[in-house]
Amino acid sequence: MTLTDQIEISNLTKAEAKAELARLADVLNAANTAYHGADAPDISDAEYDALKRRNAAIEVLFPDLKRNDSPSDLVGASVQGGFVKVAHVVRMLSLGNAFDPGDVIAFDTSVRKFLGLEADAPLAYTSEPKIDGLSLSLRYEGGRLVQAATRGDGEVGENVTQNARTISDIPQHLENAPGILEVRGEVYMSHADFSALNVAQTKAGGKVFANPRNAAAGSLRQLDTAITRARPLRFFAYAWGDLSAPLAASQKGAIDQLASLGFSVNPLTALCDGPDQMLAHYARIETQRATLGYDIDGVVYKVDDLALQARLGFRSTTPRWAIAHKFPAELAWTWLEGIDIQVGRTGALSPVARLAPVTVGGVVVSNATLHNEDYIAGRDAGGAPIRDGKDIRVGDWVQVYRAGDVIPKIADVDLGKRPDDSTAFVFPVKCPECGSDAPREEGDAVRRCSGGIICPAQAVEKLKHFVARGAFDIDGLGAKQVEQFYRDGWIREPADIFTLKERYGVGLKQLKNREGWGEKSADNLFAAIADKSRIPLGRFIFALGIRHVGEAGSNMLALHYGEWPVFETAMTAARDPGPEWEELNGIDGVGEVLATSLVTAFAQDAERASIDRLAALLQIEPAKRPDTDGSPVAGKTVVFTGTLVRMTRAEAKARAEALGAKVSGSVSARTDILVAGPGAGSKAKKAVELGIKTLDEDGWLALIGAL
C-alpha cells in the first residue's frame, strides 16, 4: 500500500489523485483477473468493494482523471458461469409476514409497545403493493450508476451492473442526488411482456418460464447482457441502502424524492393513520390486483417517520418497522398418488404428499408437506380435530394451497371421492433409511430416527445444511454434489470437505477425472472450499445443524461468547448445572429447549469428535460486534431490571446491543452493569451481594451518551 491510501479523498491533490487511480486500477484489475481465472484472489470481497468505492469516489471528484481502463467500467460477469460477488454496505433484509387483519393489528401493537406509545397516540404508516419480482440494489456515486447488485443472501449479492443498465426504468445518471445513494427496489416483468416472451421462447424452442417472477429473475441473471437487453424488465423503487445524506424525514417523503429523481415508484403508495386505514388500502389494492398488469403478492406497511424507523431498528433478518401483509393462498384440487417419508437433518420423519401435477396460482405443484402423523390423521398437536377430523389417505382427492414461497400444503379432502377400498395411512415406526427405531418423544410432534450420524439420510441432510446459504455456502458444492460425494464415500462428514483437495486433488482418483468435472471446475471447487476455511463464528455455529439452533440463535450465541474456544469450553462446561449453564440460559433469545439441544450435541462423543475434527481445519473468526468504536459499553454484559421510564425494555435492549453490549436476563458474576429502575427486586439484591456496578436509568443513559 502506498501513502496515498492513507489520505482522505477530499484532501488529495490532483497529482496524488492521478497516482492513486493508477494504483487502484492495477490492484483491482489484477484482483479481477485472479478472480476470473483459476487463482484465488489475494484480496477479500470486502477489500475489493472498498477499493472499488474509493476508486469511484476519486473519479467523482476528478472526472477528467478517469482512466480508460477504469475499474468502474469492469464487466460484472465472471467467465466461469457466475457473477462477481459484491458485499452490501447496508444489508438487504426481508420482511416479516402478516396473513390476516389480526396480524396487522398485532404489528401496530408491537411497534407501539417497542416505542412506548399509547394506543391512541398518532402513528402513521405507508401502505404499498408488494411487487412479486426480485430485489435489486442500485448504487449511485456523484449521480452516476456505478453498481447494481442482487440481494443474494442479504449480505453478499451478485454484481449485475451491466444487465441493470439495459433496464429503461433505471436511470444511469441522477441530477441533484446525494453523493452516495443506494436505491433499492424490485425488478419485475409485466403480464403482457411475460406472455409474449413465452410465446417467443416456445417458437424458438427455448425455456418457457413458469411465472413472471421466474422470467424476471432468469432475464436479469443472464451472463450475456444482450439477452437481458432483449427482455422487457421494469423496476419500482421502494427503499434505499447506503446514503451520504438523508432523502427526507419520512418514508413517504423519501419515496416522493426518489420519484422526483426519476425513478418509477408505485402509484398505489398511500399514507395511513393506523390499522383501519391500512386494511382499507389493502382491500383497495386487492380489488385492483387483477387489472394492474403485473404480479403483486401482498401489501407492505412501513412506519412513516424515519426517526421512529431508526429507533425500531432490526431483528436478525427483518425490520421491526415494516411487515408484508400477504394475499390469501391460491387453491386447487388434485389426486394424492402417494405418501413418502423423508428423513431430515435432525432425524425427523417428514411425510411428503406426491400429487398428480396441478397448477396452483401459476406454478405446477407435485409435492406438498404433510407435516407429521397427527396432521395426516386429522388432529392437531393437542389432539383436537383439524379438517373436521378428516384423515388423509393415498388415493384421496385433495385441495392444495400455496401462499407465496411457502411449501404447498393440503387444506382439505373430498370424502365423496374417496375410493371404497382406501385404508388409513400407517405411519412407520422405524427409519425407512437406516432401519433404526423412530420413537416419538413426549412433547415432540414428529417421530425421529434414533440412528444419529450412522443414518445415511441424516448424515447427508446435515452435509446439505452445512454447505447451504447462511451456513458455509460453498460455490459449486450444492445438494446434488454432496449426495454424490457422500454416496461414493468421498465426503462423509463436514471435515472431509476441507481435506478433499489433499485426498482428491492429485493421484489416480482425482476430482477432475470424475464424471461431470474437469480441470477448471475442480480447481474452482478447491478454491471455493479454501475460501471458506475462514468463517465467522455465527455461521459456523449455524452450519453445525444442531436442532433448534437457527441462524438468529447462532448469531446471538456468537455475539455473546465472541470466540470459538470460549464458546466450545462454555458448551462443554454447561452440560452440568452451574454458572455456565446459567449463563447460557440467561442469554436473551436462548430458551431451555435451545440450550438443552446445544449442550446435548456437545456432550455426544461421536458428534463432538466430528465438530472437533472440523474446527481443527478452519480459522473461525471471532464474532463481529456492531461498529462500536468508542462505545463505553462494548463487550460489557448488561442486565435491565425494574421499570424503565424513558424507553421500553425492548428498545433499551436493542440500543445496548447496537452499542456492542451483551444483554442478559439474569445477574451473575459475569454481569458488568445492572440497570435498575423502580421496583427492582431480587436481581438488584444479588448485584449488591456480588459487588456489581448498578445504575439507574438516567445513569445508564448518561453513560451511553443519550442524555
- Which residues contact ligand IVH by CB under 6 A? 93-95, 128, 130-131, 135, 186, 238-239, 300, 319, 322, 324
Residues acting as catalytic residues: 130
Distance (Å, whole) CA 283 – CA 184: 26
**369 CA to centre of own chain:** 22
CB of 355 to ligand IVH, least distance (A): 26
Distance (Å, whole) CA 248 – CA 254: 5
CB of 239 to ligand IVH, least distance (A): 5
185 Cβ contact partners less than 8 Å away, ≥ 6 residues apart: 131, 135, 136, 138, 235, 236, 237, 238, 239, 263
CB of 12 to ligand IVH, least distance (A): 35
Is the Cβ–Cβ distance between 321 and 108 less than 8 Å?
no
Half-sphere exposure of 476 (CA within 13 A, CB side): 21
Based on CB atoms, which residue is closest to ligand IVH, 239 or 543?
A: 239
List helix spans (H) across 87-151: 101-115
Based on CB atoms, which residue is closest to ligand IVH, 55 or 219?
A: 219
Can you give 523-563 as a three-state secondary structure string?
HHHHHHHHHCCEEEHHHHHHHCCCCCCCHHHHHHHHHHHCC
CB of 110 to ligand IVH, least distance (A): 16
Based on CB atoms, which residue is closest to ligand IVH, 277 or 366?
A: 277
Distance (Å, whole) CA 614 – CA 415: 52
Distance (Å, whole) CA 362 – CA 488: 39
CB of 554 to ligand IVH, least distance (A): 21
Position closest to ligand IVH via CB:
135
Distance (Å, whole) CA 540 – CA 393: 41
CB of 179 to ligand IVH, least distance (A): 23
| CB burial string 452-481: b at 16+ within 10 A, e below | eeebbbbbbbbbbbbbbebbbbbbbbeeeb
Q: Cell for 407? A: 411449501
Q: Cell for 652? A: 433499551
Residue 340: strand, helix, or coil: strand
Q: Environment class of residue 343 by beta-carbon count within 10 Å: exposed (0-12), middle (13-18) or buried (19+)? A: buried
CB of 170 to ligand IVH, least distance (A): 16
Distance (Å, whole) CA 490 – CA 452: 20
Based on CB atoms, which residue is closest to ligand IVH, 186 or 433?
A: 186
Based on CB atoms, which residue is closest to ligand IVH, 181 or 620?
A: 181
Based on CB atoms, which residue is closest to ligand IVH, 184 or 625?
A: 184
Based on CB atoms, which residue is closest to ligand IVH, 134 or 535?
A: 134
